[in-house]
Amino acid sequence: MAYLEIKNFCKKFGEHEVLKGIDLSIEKGEVLSIIGSSGSGKTTLLRCINFLETPNKGVMVLDGETLFNAETDKKIREKDLREKRLNFGLVFQSFNLFPQYSVADNITLAPLLQLKEKCKKDKTLNFAEEKQKIIADAEKLLEKTGLTDKKNEYPCVLSGGQQQRVAIARALALKPKILCFDEPTSALDPELTGEVLKVIRALKGEDRTMIIVTHEMGFAKNVSDSVVFMANGVIEEEGNPKEVFENPKSEKLKAFLAGINNKEGE
Amino acid sequence: MSFELINSTLLRGFGTTCLLFILTLVLSLPLGLLIMFGLKCPVKIVSWLCRIFVWIIRGTPLMLQLFVVFYVPSLLFGIKLFSFTNGTVFEGRFLAALITFVINYACYFSVIFKGGVDNISRGQYEAGKVLGLTKSQIFYKIVLLQVIKTIISPISNEVITLVKDTSLARVISVAEIFFINETEILSKAIVWPLFYIAVFFLLFIGLLTILFNYLEKKLSYFKA
């Protein structure tokens, strides 16, 4: 069985069927890219995986544990929802940093709140000691994302690329099993996408399991182990990147790739 | 009347004015928060009741509301709720005015709060959720300060209006500064203290303005 296994995810918003039975599997340490035109359901799929939306049908199994089963999980308790969400990290298109916190505090906010809860339950834990560990972890993440000199700045003075790198560090600070990216460079100026993609590429070097929804075809081709092409709420085609990009089989994927090549040629 | 006597008389009235102002502010802010939660309540009947309530309170003159709260219980139902005196400032008519002001301002505040909360992008809540924060952590650690920052200007407007609105309490004979002035000074054909009263208000509101500017500056380190 694969590390993450998704079976028959369906999601409806009112009458509008956004996901029509998605099957997906990822091995540990693998990078999966999801491509497709807007409205194809890529982002909704990612939001379902992160428990921001609840699928109407389907099952999700992570590392042998059934995280979600639409049959039995009609209503998930808030506390369980939080725990389930923590298996995943999500980097948003629009960064969504917390404006009132410095870069360092953005990264340590959630881990420190978690630590406080843990310390309440487990009196043997030393808060000050554990806090130092969290801060040290954050320093490492800042170094990894090239933001050490920005740690005391506030998000409003950072460039988009820097903000997105903070968002990646913030997601990593909770040590998610799978890190998801929802079009991480779509809100960035072209000259800033490189620095973000570089960070993601470096994460691949650490064998992190990642799911990336992206419009950067060159990046998807280089960095992914497998690529999924979605159209109208279904997976139209999937395979290794070389195959998908160089030898597309379905007409829709051919048209999609041709459209992108045309745009790049303009 | 000597200046000292006029001064001390007016100060007595201004004390009542200030007390009414501070108590109204302290009580109406949390009540406004409560009404805001009501306005945003997913249970339709609750949000509709709150909306109708806010509409009535914002849609009728504050002066009328003062009359209703003070006179209706005793004249219509024979309940002498606010007719007591006890020698302190906290007599019946003062309480009636306080209750009216608190309800009235809470409604205005609730709408300002709602605007501030609605202004926070969905992404902030979602970022909190994917980081495993609880609903209350998201509200207190992420949303609240951003809301305060965005509403501080409209709130300062309301607060300054409140200082001056307190003088409406004179219509039910609360011994605030204008009532005192009229009964004890103006009645003796001494007119100049009216301008002197303006100085009280200018100073008080000047102080509030400085305070709000300070708060605004304190929160200027980030952009919500």
- Number of CB atoms found within 10 A of residue B118's CB: 10
- Chain B residue numbers touching A50 (CB-CB < 8 A): 130
CATH number of the domain at B3-112+150-222, please?
1.10.3720.10
Q: What is the pLDDT of residue A264?
A: 64
DSSP 3-state helix, strand, coil percentages of chain B (rounded to 5)? 80, 0, 20
Q: Do A100 and B134 touch (CB under 8 A)?
A: no
Q: Sorting pLDDT into bands at 50, 70 and 90, what band is B118?
A: very high
Instruction: Measure CB to CB from residue B135 to each of A78, A92, A155 and give the nearest one.
Output: A78
A 88-147 → B contacts, CB under 8 A: 88-90, 92, 94, 96-100, 109-110, 113-114
Query: Residue B89's pLDDT is what?
Result: 74
Q: A180 to each of A32, A222, B83, B203, how far by Cα in Å?
A: 9, 17, 67, 57
Nearest Cα residue in chain A from B144: A100
Confidence of residue A266 (pLDDT cuts 50, 70, 90): low
Contact assignment for B127 to A99 by CB distance below 8 Å: no
Which chain A residues are closer than 8 Å to B141 by Cβ?
Answer: 109, 113
A250–chain B Cβ distance below 8 A for any pair: no
Residues of B in contact with A174 (CB under 8 A): 131-132
Q: Identity (one letter) of the amino acid at B59?
A: G
- Measured in whole angstroms, the distance separating CA A30 from the mean position of its chain's CA atoms is 13
Residue B27 has pLDDT above 90, yes or no: yes
Contacts of A212 (CB under 8 A, 6+ apart): A31, A32, A33, A34, A180, A181, A184, A200, A220, A223, A224
Kindly report the CA angle at A93 between A185 and A53, in degrees rounded to 5? 145
pLDDT at A177: 94
Mean pLDDT over residues A38-55, rounded? 93
| Band of residue A59 on the pLDDT scale cut at 50, 70, 90 | very high
The percentage of chain B sitting over the pLDDT mark of 90, rounded to a whole number, equals 69
Is the pLDDT at A66 greater than 80? The verdict is yes
Contact A82 B134 (CB under 8 A): yes
Identify the burial level of A74 via C-beta atoms within 10 angstroms of its C-beta, where 0-12 means exposed, 13-18 middle and 19 or more buried: exposed
Domain ranges of chain B: 3-112+150-222
* Torsion sign over Cα A136, A138, A140, A143: negative
Interface residue of A43, A48, A76, A82 to substitute, partner B, most B CBs within 10 Å: A82
| pLDDT greater than 70 at residue B154 | yes
Q: What is d(CA A160, CA A96) in angstroms, rounded to the nearest whole number?
A: 11
The mean per-residue pLDDT over the stretch B121-132 comes to: 95
Structure tokens at B128: 């909190």
Q: What per-residue confidence (pLDDT) applies to A265?
A: 58
At B65 the pLDDT is 96
Is the CB of B222 less than 8 angstroms away from the CB of A100? yes
Average pLDDT, chain B: 91
**Residue type (1 letter), B196:** Y
Q: Which two tokens stand for residue B59?
A: 């849609």
**Most distant CA pair in chain A, distance:** 63
pLDDT at residue B81 above 80?
Answer: no
Partners of residue B135 in chain A, C-beta under 8 Å:
78
- Residue A187, chain B, CB below 8 Å: the answer is no
Give the DSSP H or E segment for A35: strand A31-35
CB-nearest partner of B137 from A96, A113, A156:
A113
Please judge whether A92 and B221 are an interchain contact, meaning their C-beta atoms are less than 8 angstroms apart.
Answer: no
Confidence check: pLDDT of B179 > 90: no
Read off the pLDDT of residues A134-183 as tens digits, 9 standing for 90 and up.
999 999 999 999 999 999 999 999 999 999 999 999 999 999 999 999 99
Banded pLDDT at B88 (limits 50, 70, 90): confident
Report whether pLDDT(A99) > 70. Answer: yes
Residue A49 has pLDDT above 70, yes or no: yes
Mutate to test the interface with A, among B124, B126, B131 (most CBs of A within 10 A): B131
For residue B105, name the pLDDT band (cuts at 50, 70, 90): very high
Which residues of chain A lie closer than 8 angstroms to B145, CB-CB?
Answer: 100
B175 vs A252, which has greater pLDDT?
A252
User: Which among A1, A34, A25 has a CA at the least distance from the CA of A224?
Assistant: A34
Lowest mean pLDDT among A155-164, A199-208, B43-52: A199-208
**Which of chain B's residues have a Cβ under 8 Å away from the Cβ of A110?**
131-133
Those residues of chain B whose CB sits closer than 8 Å to some CB in chain A are: 121, 123-124, 126-127, 129-135, 137, 141-142, 145-146, 149, 221-224
Cβ of A154 and B221 within 8 Å? yes
Residue A186 at interface with chain B, using a CB cutoff of 8 Å: no
Tell me: pLDDT of B209 over 70: yes
